[in-house]
Amino acid sequence: MTFSISGKTAIVTGGANGIGLAIARHFISQGANVMLADMDEARLKDECGPVEDGEGGNVRFFAGDLREKLTLANLLSATIDAFDRVDILVNACRRVALADSLNPDDETVEEMLDHNLFTALRLSRLVARRMIRQAREEGREEGTAGAIINLSSIAAQRLRPELLGFSVASAAVEQLTRGLAVALAPHRIRVNAIAFGSVMSASLKDALKGNDAYREEIVEKTPLGRIASAREVAETAQYLASEGAAFMTGQVLVIDGGRTLIDPVTPPAH
């Protein structure tokens, strides 16, 4: 069994920060060719420019509104121009926003679905067609023709009213994962997802600054008693992208330190 992704080409969306950037950096360190894509051009250049300059020819970055179909087509074209192929897609482009569930004018749910779900669906379709074409042109009739990895959240199962849009989108991403896995299985393209709880990303670090009570609350609700590192998510993504997971498709791997295994009961008010 091998977990190597050396020489493979990956597109990682949401690559300007957080989990997406951690996955991209880890893939680069493992010898993969990586195209980082994000909507935030300024931050992408700030975070990834030094990476591109320092890693030689195996990393590029692409900026654009990934909700637009033309932008996604251009992203795939840029990847093919740079590396001649694509073997792995990581849909890490996600947005979290609070919603007013009772406000009829609140469009957060629609925005979360457009950003977190439909972007992944559209790009997955484009990349899958390219993967199928590659396998046909290369005459490969065995082995994995490609791997698609979606990022979800335990919010798909653990709902907070103010995170309604994000929760709905996360649940939809998990069902999308299962649906695409079945649809693409005849073409030997595997589709899996990672659902995680609290991960020490840049945004969580900011949220925890000067807020020890919040940190303690997260740790208390996590059986393993700590917050995950972004590298742990990245290493799981590597596993799913590798031949070590060659017979795995349509699965959602949960990285939450056991948080979804327990159901904390709030003390009664009286």
At position 94, the amino acid (one-letter code) is R
Angle between helices 18-29 and 230-241 (to 10 degrees): 60
Using one digit for the tens of pLDDT, what is the confidence trace for 47-103? Answer: 766 555 545 569 999 999 999 999 999 999 999 999 999 999 999 998 887 776 667
Share of the chain above pLDDT 90, in %: 63
- 257: region left, alpha or beta (phi > 0 left; psi from -120 to 50 alpha): left
Residue range 23-33: mean pLDDT, rounded: 96
Q: What pLDDT is stored for residue 52 in this prediction?
A: 54
Q: Identify the band that residue 169 occupies on the pLDDT scale cut at 50, 70 and 90.
A: very high
Q: Identify the band that residue 268 occupies on the pLDDT scale cut at 50, 70 and 90.
A: very low
Q: In the chain, what's the furthest Cα-to-Cα distance?
A: 70
Residue range 182-192: mean pLDDT, rounded: 98
- 73: region left, alpha or beta (phi > 0 left; psi from -120 to 50 alpha): alpha
Q: What pLDDT is stored for residue 214 in this prediction?
A: 81
Q: Identify the band that residue 191 occupies on the pLDDT scale cut at 50, 70 and 90.
A: very high
Share of the chain above pLDDT 70, in %: 90
| Domain locations in the chain as residue ranges | 9-201+229-257
191 - beta bridge partners? Answer: 148
d(C-alpha 25, C-alpha 8), whole Å:
14
d(C-alpha 209, C-alpha 212), whole Å:
8
Residue range 117-143: mean pLDDT, rounded: 94
- Say how many C-beta atoms besides its own lie within 10 A of residue 101's C-beta: 12
Q: Fold for domain 9-201+229-257? A: Rossmann fold (3.40.50)
Q: Identify the band that residue 267 occupies on the pLDDT scale cut at 50, 70 and 90.
A: very low
Given a contact cutoff of 8 angstroms between Cβ atoms, the answer to whether 49 and 34 are in contact is no
Angle between helices 119-138 and 164-184 (to 10 degrees): 20
Q: What is the pTM of this model?
A: 0.91
In this predicted structure, the answer to whether residue 44 has a pLDDT above a threshold of 90 is no
Q: In this structure, what are the phi and psi dihedrals at residue 94, rounded to the nearest 5 degrees? A: -140, 155
d(C-alpha 89, C-alpha 34), whole Å:
10
Residue range 130-137: mean pLDDT, rounded: 96
Using one digit for the tens of pLDDT, what is the confidence trace for 209-239? Answer: 777 888 888 889 899 999 999 999 999 999 9
Residue range 182-206: mean pLDDT, rounded: 89
